Chain A
């Protein structure tokens, strides 16, 4: 377990709320707060190299999108940001994932503490088979949060834009909600623990366009409180919601006929979609492959 003093920027909600939203109007040369600094990251599943040599920085209070064709390792990289890959026995990580300067894969880092600060929303809505209230209250409860749980639950549900739809049936099962509502419940659950970062792994892939639009609006509403990293298959979604975009692709290893993912380029979303430097990015964002 890492003492808080090791973090250059201990997450603190009150402090974060006061910060004005990051402005991306002019090409501001002032250095932004870097939350994640990923250097030379490679991930292996057994002997198979899933993704190699990823270098990317993720800035505070921005939405960073990971895009790319299937199997390019964008989800794998995302799951390295909160040590979720630990759950896969054969996964092995090389390189560094620095979170406020602390290497998350340092031996002394406690993954449970990591995940309290870096929340996650999954591809398929996965509420606990419990009541709506208990879904949201679970994280703060196990974290030993003192204070009025009703307030915490209400605030999280309001932030997730779900409060008005569920306030009369908080004791009903979370599984009784529609798919889009379930996903917003999962977002409420994730932000109830007051994380600094939200990782979203294709959060809209199981949702219809209306529910998707709802979640995208929500991301804009909460991005001044959280740093968001979203993996998406949907280029339009990346263009709509993100400030910066990272494009991943795959390359075939000639001798083993397997595919390894790699990061092609990272830039502001405007730049990536209008004037990318790499030809592969251009081909992808113009729909010529993938």
Chain B
């Protein structure tokens, strides 16, 4: 570079250099690409929502209460999803009650207690693989174990085809997901927090209980609810463990009786109705989808509220 003598020319040359130079064209186009991907994802979601809401509006807008309270019937016009909501609720409850403590406990063992040797890595990889196994396979597992082998316990009056069997099957289905997300939440706990606990003479149990778990709780909760949301939308394994696709006769008013009796669930109802011909069935199917979305949304909201409460205590 040449030696510049006058201050004016220094200013000019600095200005030229600062204002010229290569613009970050790659960065800009990359950012544009990212925005486009995001916009497309949201667009698809909105189209989907619009489609089911408009499709089901003839039902939701006119007889919402009746639709939520009525059982499945032979005519679309007076069919409802009450049995499905009940089934989905109890199956979801069962799934959470079983998979949450088991999954979190397994994750705590893997992350806080177990070693980091070859066996631990082997187990870790296998749990990840289990999370990717198609849900139908879990359905077959549920059919073999919870319906046939344990039928006397899960559903003595219904050949094992019961809410209990379905809940157990879905619990096994989401267990690997719960373990993985809980383990990741535990891994995200800063090592300094553990050291602080051990440093003042806490035992491993005290460090885990007083410091690690409260810190990881929001992450664990979020992961568990996402897993539950997946379980609530599953139809395939429920069909295999014997969800009723037609009429439910248990109980006096077409409701599900005891947990050990036959059952149905929202995704089953949707799958069943979707196969029937005619605009009126199409409308109730769309309406049922909206109800299922609402149920999942409610579960997520509950989890977010819980998480916010835990996060407040983290400060």
Contact = CB atoms under 8 A, between A and B. Distances in A.
Interface of A: 82, 84, 87, 89-90, 112-113, 115-116, 119-122, 124, 126-129, 138-139, 142-143, 173, 175, 186, 189-190, 192-193
Contacts of B315: 129, 173, 175
Given A89-B115, A173-B315, A115 B201 contact: yes
B201 A126 contact: no
B50 interface: no
A126 B196 CA distance: 6
B124 to A, nearest CB: 14
A190 B199 CA distance: 8
A43 B90 CA distance: 55
A142 B196 CA distance: 13
Given A138-B200, A143-B201, A193-B200, 20 more contacts: A84-B199, A87-B191, A87-B195, A87-B198, A112-B201, A112-B202, A112-B203, A115-B199, A116-B200, A120-B195, A126-B190, A126-B195, A128-B197, A138-B210, A139-B200, A139-B201, A142-B201, A186-B196, A189-B200, A190-B200
A268 B118 CA distance: 47
A122 B195 contact: yes
Contacts of A112: 201-203
Contacts of A173: 315
A221 B217 CA distance: 40
Nearest to A90: B116
22 contacts: A84-B199, A87-B194, A89-B115, A90-B116, A112-B201, A115-B199, A122-B199, A124-B192, A126-B192, A128-B193, A128-B197, A128-B211, A129-B215, A129-B314, A129-B315, A138-B202, A139-B200, A142-B200, A142-B210, A143-B201, A190-B200, A193-B201
A127 B201 contact: no
A136 to B, nearest CB: 10
A13 to B, nearest CB: 15
Contacts of B199: 82, 84, 115, 119-122, 190
B186 to A, nearest CB: 15
Contacts of A120: 195, 199
B51 interface: no
Contacts of A89: 115-117
Contacts of B115: 89
Nearest to B117: A89
Contacts of A116: 200-201
Contacts of B65: none
Contacts of B206: 142
- Those 7 A-B pairs whose CB atoms lie nearest each other, nearest first: A116-B201, A139-B200, A126-B192, A120-B199, A126-B196, A115-B201, A173-B315
B32 to A, nearest CB: 39
B110 to A, nearest CB: 13
A129 B211 CA distance: 8
